[in-house]
Structure 1
Amino acid sequence: MNGILVVSATRAEAAHVPDRYETVITGIGKVDAAVAVTAALAAYPAGARPLVVNIGTAGALHDHHAGLYLPSTALNHDISSDVLKSLGHPVEDVLDIEDGDGSVLATGDAFVSDAEVRDALAARADLVDMEGFAVAYAARRMGARCRLVKHVSDHADESALDWPALVDHSARELAAWLVERY
């Protein structure tokens, strides 16, 4: 192929990715994403790992955020890292991502559609999703580079419940970015 492994949580988010790209649909959530990326990368020889490009939708945590983002940092926002660290267990809950735009992505297994939850996350991040951190973590553990590409589909409030009607617009923007860059 072309040295790119496109990773998306759902078929809807990858609906417009051309067939020339190897594409893995992980399923929703951190566990599904980490397992699917690990399995896909394990099929490659160790010295021939592709660039993992995670495309997907995200909720904006600030009203002024819209469009496409290339997060520089991914947070695992729903792990009790402070407690685990205080008990002597190291937890990696922040990842730096190469070639980002300075934005911060908070990843968790909870679907954020509540303004109060959104506002709490907004103190630490710009965007929220359910797979980005796990994709980046699995890629790094498997020796592959990773790039996160997120398109704002909603504002992580009640508008998030309209995701099924909004995803196609995001999928078109994500595929256009992919084709333009790779």
Structure 2
Amino acid sequence: MSVLVVSATKAEAAHVPSGFKVVITGIGKVAAASAVSRVLAADKTIQQVVNIGSCGALRDGQAGLIEVGTVLNHDFSSAAIRALGYDVEDALTVGDSDIVCATGDLFVADADVRSGLAERAHLVDMEAYAVAWAAREAGVPARIVKHVSDNADESALEWVNVVDRSARDLGEWLADNVD
């Protein structure tokens, strides 16, 4: 199967096993959606997209590698858009897991923001929803696998010191679980 591994940063993809096609999107939803869309438009042989990367835990007890089942577009004014009479799809199912990842361009390092997001999601990142959206639009299934690097609080600012652990675990997961 032809698989596209998607990562926001080179640091998160540092230990992807050889043989995988990898795209480094850059940070945030716009960068992720446009990069994945470009690759999928150019390469019709890709049969699956696997988004790997680090994430913040919104709830205590979330740690290690986690496969996501639903992604939310958390910093989009869905309620306001619906109130104007438009249908908005701000949640996408990407797997069987009960784990929800909230995606937004907001870097979460604040306790109040974390607490609010924890009511709807387990994890937070900045690209998963956009990757899933782009893959779905191209008719390609997506898997989202994240590694908890912090607790979406002030510890998030230490990301640069812990990202290699996430990258190693994600690389091992790819070697063991994706053909």
2:37 counterpart SS class: helix
Deviations 1:59-101, CA, capped at 9 Å, x for gaps = 0001211011111110000000010011122211000112x42
Q: Secondary structure at the match of 1:128?
A: strand
| Equivalences, count | 178
- Cα distance in 1, alignment partners of residues 82 and 137 from structure 2: 21
Counterparts of 2:43 and 2:157, CA distance in 1: 37
- Per-residue deviation, 1:44: 1.9
Match of 1:147 among 134, 143, 148: 143
Task: Please list every run of 5 or more consecutive structure 1 residues that lacks an aligned counterpart in the other structure.
Answer: none
Following the alignment from structure 1 to structure 2, what is the Cα–Cα distance between the partners of residues 101 and 70? 7
In structure 1, what is the Cα distance between the partners aligned to 2:170 and 2:97? 16
* Partner in structure 2 of residue 176 of structure 1: 172
SS of the residue 1:70 aligns to:
strand
TM-score computed with the length of structure 1 as normaliser = 0.95
CA contact (8 A) 1:9 1:27 kept: yes
- How far apart, CA to CA, are the structure 2 residues paired with 1:142 and 1:121? 29
Q: Distance in 1 between matches of 2:30 and 2:58?
A: 23
Give CA deviations for 1:130-151 in whole Å, capped at 9, x if unaligned. 0000000000001100000000
Residue 120 of structure 2: aligned partner: 124
What's the offset of the Cα at 1:102?
Answer: 1.3
Shift of 1:50: 2.2
Q: Which amino acid aligns with 2:85?
A: G
TM-score by length of 2: 0.97
| Contact 2:6-2:25 within 8 A present in 1 as well | yes
For residues 1-182 of structure 1, the aligned pairs below 5 Å read 2-45=1-44, 48-98=45-95, 100-182=96-178
Task: Give the share of equivalent positions with the same residue, in percent.
Answer: 57
* Secondary structure of residue in 2 paired with 1:153: strand
C-alpha distance in 2 between matches for 1:18 and 1:122: 33
CA RMSD after TM alignment: 0.9
Instruction: Say which SS state the counterpart of residue 80 (structure 2) adopts.
Output: helix
